[in-house]
Amino acid sequence: MTRKNQTLGEFIIENQKDFPYASGELSRLINSIRLAAKMVNHEVNKAGLVDITGAIGETNVQGEDQQKLDVLANETFINTLTNREIVCGIASEENDEFITIKGQKNDHRNNYIVLMDPLDGSSNIDVNVSVGTIFSIYRRVTPAGTPVTLEDFLQPGNLQVAAGYIIYGTSTMLVYTTGNGVNGFTLNPALGTYYLSHPNMQFPEDGNIYSVNEGNYVHFPQGVKDYIKYCQEEKEDRPYTSRYIGSLVSDIHRNMIKGGVYLYPSTAKSPNGKLRLLYECNPMAFIAEQAGGKASDGFRRILDIKPTQLHERTPFVCGSKNMVDKVESFMASQES
Ligand code: AHM
Ligand code: MG
């Protein structure tokens, strides 16, 4: 159930019964993400002052070292998630290996795994363009009471119990799903409260925006080249509009609201594309499907891929259902 003026805190409590394994742990986990996001938001908003307060890597006026924002965001999320007796393991784009959390009694009793990209698109920070945090949540598969193993992290995306993103944009928003649709909350920075601003978000079934780094065009597979030409053709409803921010969260968020498709295909140099399956593509795919959209590697459903490595990459096509279908049909016609 959703209400106007509902805060994220109220929403979490009121919808707890719909959460998988409604024990309250997942609610507390989402709550801790909400808190960490506020802290990161505070730092991201100050990023433009770095030239005044001291450059990254230098010592600031208080004698503290200035940290890179992505490192700071990583530490903020890890510290917030660690202190709550819910999470047993974290994997992050910023850490080569996963982190094991023993719990306060050192008994490895916690149940949830979090995979995250704490600050995606961070090269955009220097130029005051939106960045985001992406997170994916699973139940562990190894028994509680034992340390987590890689197996707990290498679960296919279709087993996610929750996923979401935070967009640090003109407003800061937290958008997430627990498998009952997608809801978006906007932060009122004066009050530090998130309000339900985008209930039951839905990808339009069709759209007219395509988002891809066309600088890589010559390296794209023929199917993607053909699709791009299709988008540019002069027809009744085309050419489509090209929009590419280079911040996955922002590009997907815009396309979910307006209707569009995001592509990061394989290239001749990177046969698996650039984006990471576990903490970039899977959470976005879960959100896309929950919002009536679709996510694919060009041939198969992202959420059905069985991961083999923590940081593995995959080609990624995500957006309005009919547009992703179209990309897949171009890809299939070029497969020999
Ligand atoms: P990052 O995790 O190093 O920030 O890279 C991920 C980002 C995505 O947000 C974005 O969609 C993509 O990389 C842009 O890549 P490119 O500059 O190659 O177009
Ligand atoms: Mg990233």
| Structural domain includes residue 2 | no
Ligand 1 mutation pick, 115, 119, 120, max ligand atoms within 8 A of CB: 120
Asked whether the beta carbons of 305 and 206 are under 8 A apart, the reply is no
Alpha carbon distance 42, 92 (integer Å): 21
Where residue 24 sits, what CATH number does that domain have? Answer: 3.30.540.10
Select from 198, 230, 265 the last residue of a domain. Answer: 198
Residues 41 and 123 in one domain: yes
Give the number of whichever ligand sits closest to the CA of residue 249. Answer: 1
- For residue 117, the ligand 1 atom closest to its alpha carbon is 2
308-326 pLDDT, tens digit per residue, is 999 999 999 999 999 999 9
Q: What is the percentage of the chain residues whose pLDDT exceeds 70? A: 92
Q: Atom 5 of ligand 1 has which residue's CA nearest to it?
A: 121
Residue 102: alpha-carbon gap to chain centroid: 26
Task: Give backbone dihedrals phi and psi of 185, rounded to 5 degrees, phi first.
Answer: -125, 135
How many other β-carbons are positioned within 10 Å of the β-carbon of residue 96? 8
Q: What's the pLDDT at 221?
A: 96
Extract the tokens encoding 224.
């993607």
Residues 174 and 309 in one domain: no
Q: Does the structure show a pLDDT above 50 at 106?
A: yes
Q: Mean pLDDT for the chain?
A: 92
Average pLDDT estimate for 189-211: 96
The set of protein residues with a Cβ atom below 6 angstroms from ligand 1 is: 93, 117, 120-122, 213, 246-248, 251, 274
Q: What's the pLDDT at 319?
A: 98
Average pLDDT estimate for 66-85: 89
**Per-residue confidence at 123, pLDDT binned at 50, 70, 90?**
confident
Residue 310, classed as helix, strand or coil, is coil
Residues 269 and 331 in one domain: yes
Residues 43 and 155 in one domain: yes
| Structural domain includes residue 3 | no
Asked whether the beta carbons of 111 and 131 are under 8 A apart, the reply is no
Residues 193 and 213 in one domain: no
Residues 249 and 183 in one domain: no
Residues 257 and 169 in one domain: no
20-68 pLDDT, tens digit per residue, is 666 788 889 999 999 999 999 998 888 766 655 445 565 555 555 556 8
Average pLDDT estimate for 70-78: 94
Extract the tokens encoding 322.
């009919």
Residue 264, classed as helix, strand or coil, is strand
Residues 157 and 273 in one domain: no
How many other β-carbons are positioned within 10 Å of the β-carbon of residue 7? 16
Q: How many domains does the chain have?
A: 2
Residues 181 and 69 in one domain: yes
Give the number of whichever ligand sits closest to the CA of residue 215. Answer: 1
Select from 198, 218, 233 the last residue of a domain. Answer: 198
**Per-residue confidence at 5, pLDDT binned at 50, 70, 90?**
confident
> What range does the domain containing 39 cover?
8-198
Residues 109 and 217 in one domain: no
Alpha carbon distance 251, 271 (integer Å): 22
Which residues sit with Cβ closer than 5 angstroms to ligand 2, an ion? 117, 120
Q: What's the pLDDT at 235?
A: 97
Residues 85 and 231 in one domain: no
| Structural domain includes residue 322 | yes
Where residue 249 sits, what CATH number does that domain have? Answer: 3.40.190.80
Asked whether the beta carbons of 312 and 277 are under 8 A apart, the reply is yes
Residues 191 and 61 in one domain: yes
| Structural domain includes residue 203 | no
Asked whether the beta carbons of 35 and 77 are under 8 A apart, the reply is no
Q: What's the pLDDT at 87?
A: 97
